[in-house]
């Protein structure tokens, strides 16, 4: 299975994140890593933040936005065994505008990646069955990007069914770069 991970550097530095990134680093032929910032702040509206860090109660200045991407890049590169992180980034909460996209591009992230299906696996109340249903029903179109989270509740339990079912339906898994280049 090939996929692109977009971890925050805060989550990547947890024990669970380090374990996943070590697996990614061991199989660079299967995976790629994109940038999801350091702290998971809403870069347009402010606020938000990673569940493992204090909230983002500060202005989203140009310097701060650039530092969120640049700081995450160095940490993610280190934790992934030196894998390239550029040029893809996923904005926290899907929140972006022309200013934020321009700032991202100015530090090497000209490709803003969004998703087609959201598993909502970040919510403790989302069940394994709901994650499976959100991905599989209706059957996704070719090129669908599914949003799941490193550390998502019940994601690990849902993935075997999702992968087996989609493969049985003739789908193949790929990275964002292969999807966009293909």
Contacting residues for 27 by C-beta, under 8 A, at least 6 apart? none
Predicted pLDDT at 49? 87
Predicted pLDDT at 1? 58
φ and ψ at residue 49, rounded to 5 degrees: 130, 165
Q: Which helix (H) or strand (E) holds 118?
A: strand 117-118
What's the start-to-end Cα distance of the chain, in Å? Answer: 17
Q: Which helix (H) or strand (E) holds 54?
A: none
Instruction: Kindly report, residue by residue over 92-126, the tens digit of the pLDDT.
Output: 999 999 999 999 999 999 999 999 999 999 999 99
Q: How confident is the model at residue 182 (pLDDT cuts 50, 70, 90)?
A: low
- Return d(Cα 8, Cα 17) in angstroms, integer: 9
Residue 176 has pLDDT above 90, yes or no: yes
Predicted pLDDT at 45? 94
Cis amide bond preceding 87, omega within 30: yes
CA 105, 109, 110, 116: dihedral to nearest 10 degrees?
-130
Question: Going from the N-terminus, what domains does the chain have, and what CATH number goes with each?
Answer: 1-114 (3.20.20.370), 115-177 (no CATH)
Residue 127 has pLDDT above 80, yes or no: yes
Q: How far is CA 15 from the centre of its chain?
A: 17
- Return d(Cα 109, Cα 151) in angstroms, integer: 24
Average pLDDT over residues 132-159: 94
pTM, two decimal places = 0.92
Instruction: Kindly report, residue by residue over 12-60, the tens digit of the pLDDT.
Output: 999 999 999 999 999 999 999 999 999 999 999 999 988 766 778 889 9
Strand stretches in 37-96, DSSP E: 88-89
Instruction: Kindly report, residue by residue over 56-96, the tens digit of the pLDDT.
Output: 888 999 999 999 999 999 999 999 999 999 999 999 999 99
Predicted pLDDT at 120? 96
What does pLDDT average to over the chain? 94
């Amino acid at each position: 299975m090939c996929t692109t991970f977009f971890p925050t550097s805060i989550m990547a530095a947890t024990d669970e994140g380090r374990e996943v990134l070590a697996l990614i680093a061991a199989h660079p032929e299967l995976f790629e890593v994109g940038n999801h910032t350091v702290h998971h702040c809403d870069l347009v509206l402010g606020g938000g933040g990673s569940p493992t860090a204090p909230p983002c109660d500060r202005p989203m200045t140009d310097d701060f936005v650039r530092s969120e991407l640049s700081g995450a890049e160095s940490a993610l590169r280190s934790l992934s065994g030196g894998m390239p992180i550029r040029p893809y980034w996923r904005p926290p909460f899907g929140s972006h505008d022309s200013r934020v996209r321009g700032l991202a591009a100015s530090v090497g992230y000209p490709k803003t990646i969004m998703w087609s299906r959201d598993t909502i696996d970040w919510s403790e109340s989302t069940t394994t069955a709901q994650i499976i249903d959100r991905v599989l029903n209706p059957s996704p179109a070719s090129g669908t990007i599914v949003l799941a989270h490193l550390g998502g509740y019940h994601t690990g339990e849902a993935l075997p069914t999702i992968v087996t079912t989609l493969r049985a339906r003739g789908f193949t898994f790929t990275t964002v770069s292969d999807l966009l280049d293909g």
